[in-house]
Chain A
Amino acid sequence: MSGEQTQSQSQASSIAEWLKEVGVEAEIRVDKYNVAWTEIPPEKVKEAIKLLKEKGYRHLITISGVDLPDEGVMELIYHLAPVKMDGYPRLSLKTKIPRDKPEIDTITDIFTIAIVYEREVYDLLGVKFIGHKGLSRILLPKDTPEGYHPLRKK
């Protein structure tokens, strides 16, 4: 058990080192299910994901959005997985954006499949992904009234 702990700790420090390369000081926590969690500022997300992909985190599982009205933010979680990197944890990269202006740069130029996931977050939560070449609803009917984003908390 302790052998695994040291291994996951050393991997966590590798990830922390990579994030330093894009100018981010982040704390990485690896849970007992080999999933790493960390939070970085929104303006660093695109660079960080580009670097992580180059380092081997080549699979974008999905992008989750969580509405946190009590904190006045929306949280975006980019779920990444390593490909052929023995034992490295899955990574949940979190970031917080202001709830009254929920915007962030698109990552569709890094992960093409983000075209679909970003549209889903836009549709259900109203987050704008700047630079997405076709941001529109994907699950709700196209004639749904503007401003209706059902996963927002009241």
Chain B
Amino acid sequence: MGLYIPIGPYHPALKEPITIRIKVEGEKIVDADIELGYNHRGIEKLLESKLWISVPFIAEHVCGICSGVHQLTSIMGIERIFDIEDKIPERAKMLRIVGLELERIHSHLLWLGVAAHEAGFDTIFMYSWRDREKVLDLLEIQGGRRVVYSIGKVGGVRRDVDDKFIRKAKETMGYIRKQTKEYMRIFEEDPIVQARFRNVSILPYNVAIDLGAVGPTARASGVDYDIRAEDKYFGYSEEIGMRVAVRKEGDALAKVLVRLDEILVSADIIENVLENLPSGPIEIKVPPLKTPSPGEAFARSEAPRGELAYYYRSDGKRTPYRVKIRTPTLANILSAGYMVKGGYIADVPVAFASIDPCIACMERYVIINDGKKVRKIRWSRLIHYANKWFKENLHWLKEERVY
């Protein structure tokens, strides 16, 4: 009994659907049938055969959307293993923050577009991805490329920024702020948008804590926890504008608003940091990073989707003995299963998208078992059905959800 949500592709010729099936005893989740095999590449094992210095280059390809935070978190761990973290220059740390916050903005705008598209609001998709291009322009200047921008290196950052970049960044942040406030207005005021997102797929506070939810998914349920504020890595602090975006409703609308709020926070941080950028070198001369002393290190950060953790073990050799990576989507997967349970079938696309799942956008199947019968429906069909259903039932849905 429960709702089956596939998170991988499914082909009619295969017998087994790939699903998240939540097994419940009463109201308690006791098992989740999940298979993630489609996207599993075997990275942790691969890293055991790569030199320490190569690890960040592979880490940044774990995820193309949040490659920056993967690279910089892997670097944080390596700098701890080699015991050079306290030597990183201030300017480098601040430039890392700029890169990470630009990434957060681009990732949230990307998500906004995809979530809006899946709910049938293609205009928002086009606008948000157009706005995102301006942020990618900045990332391209800072890192050299628009996707997988590779901003960091062990010991600092790869490239410096000049006044031209700072001026352009300030201008872009002004624009992004204006656009984001407009998106917030649409989501807070437009009744059609509200009918799709408000009171949909609520994740209560206690459940969010119990299921270990992280990131905006948890913060939208009132969980006041953000690694940037907890660990203050790289120099995050209230002084540079860091504040935790929290909402308490726990519904899909709250998740949208938390992310939009985070874009505003990121814009503040970027402006503050660039206004007061410390002078100095952008890297330290690291000794050839061949063999660290045996030991272990733990590093975590706040990726756009939530907490990202890296654990390293060294046995004194030129390659890591063990690397463990825990991505935020894995921590949110049970919450996703919880949120799609109950509610209307037409709410499933928004419910699942609201955790901002970092899985390839591919064809998926949903199997709905409502206790009476089992139906199978293709994801794109489901979206089409959902959008049509909403148009037809908008009149009473607005009453139920908005007023």
Direct contact of A and B (CB under 8 A): yes
Residues of A that sit less than 8 Å from B by CB: 31-35, 37, 58-62, 64, 66-67, 77, 79, 81, 83-84, 90, 92, 108, 111-113, 115-117, 120, 124, 133-134, 137-142, 150-151
Q: Shortest distance in angstroms between A133's beta carbon and chain B's nearest beta carbon? A: 5
Flag the segment in B27-35, B127-135, B243-251, B392-400 that touches A. B27-35
Q: Which residues of the other chain, B, contact A115 by a CB distance below 8 angstroms? A: 29-32, 334
Q: Which residues of the other chain, B, contact A83 by a CB distance below 8 angstroms? A: 225
**Residue of A whose beta carbon sits closest to that of B312:** A64
Q: Which residues of the other chain, A, contact B402 by a CB distance below 8 angstroms? A: none
**How distant is the Cα of A37 from the Cα of B70 in the complex, in angstroms?**
24
By secondary structure, the B interface counts as mixed
Q: B269 interface residue, CB < 8 Å from A?
A: no
A112-B35 contact, Cβ under 8 Å, with A59-B212, A134-B23, A142-B16: no
Q: How extensive is the interface on chain B, given as a class?
A: 35 or more
**How distant is the Cα of A64 from the Cα of B326 in the complex, in angstroms?**
9
**How distant is the Cα of A58 from the Cα of B333 in the complex, in angstroms?**
18
**How distant is the Cα of A146 from the Cα of B321 in the complex, in angstroms?**
24
Q: B36 interface residue, CB < 8 Å from A?
A: yes
**How distant is the Cα of A77 from the Cα of B297 in the complex, in angstroms?**
12
Are A111 and B23 interface neighbours, CB within 8 A?
no
A134-B296 contact, Cβ under 8 Å, with A66-B322, A150-B45: no
Are B330 and A141 interface neighbours, CB within 8 A?
no
Q: Shortest distance in angstroms between B335's beta carbon and chain A's nearest beta carbon? A: 9
**How distant is the Cα of A112 from the Cα of B36 in the complex, in angstroms?**
19
Q: Which residues of the other chain, B, contact A140 by a CB distance below 8 angstroms? A: 37, 40
A138-B35 contact, Cβ under 8 Å, with A35-B298, A111-B212, A112-B29: yes
**Residue of B whose beta carbon sits closest to that of A82:** B230
**How distant is the Cα of A116 from the Cα of B333 in the complex, in angstroms?**
9
Q: B177 interface residue, CB < 8 Å from A?
A: no
Residues of B that sit less than 8 Å from A by CB: 16, 23, 28-37, 40, 42, 44-45, 80, 85-86, 209-212, 224-225, 230-231, 296-300, 307, 309, 311, 313, 321-322, 324, 326, 330-331, 333-334
Q: List 29 A-B contacts (CB under 8 A).
A: A34-B231, A35-B297, A37-B296, A58-B209, A59-B225, A61-B300, A61-B326, A62-B309, A66-B313, A77-B311, A90-B298, A90-B300, A108-B30, A112-B28, A113-B331, A113-B334, A116-B333, A120-B330, A134-B30, A134-B32, A134-B33, A138-B35, A138-B36, A139-B40, A141-B35, A142-B16, A142-B35, A150-B42, A150-B45
Q: Shortest distance in angstroms between B84's beta carbon and chain A's nearest beta carbon? A: 12
Q: Which residues of the other chain, A, contact B309 by a CB distance below 8 angstroms? A: 61-62, 79
Are A66 and B326 interface neighbours, CB within 8 A?
no
**How distant is the Cα of A31 from the Cα of B40 in the complex, in angstroms?**
33
Q: Shortest distance in angstroms between A138's beta carbon and chain B's nearest beta carbon? A: 6
A33-B85 contact, Cβ under 8 Å, with A79-B309, A79-B311: yes
**How distant is the Cα of A67 from the Cα of B45 in the complex, in angstroms?**
12
Which of B85, B212, B230, B330 is A112 in contact with, Cβ under 8 Å? B212
Residue among A77, A84, A111 with most chain B CB within 10 A: A77
Are A113 and B212 interface neighbours, CB within 8 A?
yes
Q: Shortest distance in angstroms between B224's beta carbon and chain A's nearest beta carbon? A: 8
Q: Which residues of the other chain, B, contact A67 by a CB distance below 8 angstroms? A: 322
Are B42 and A133 interface neighbours, CB within 8 A?
no
Are A61 and B307 interface neighbours, CB within 8 A?
yes
Q: Shortest distance in angstroms between B226's beta carbon and chain A's nearest beta carbon? A: 12
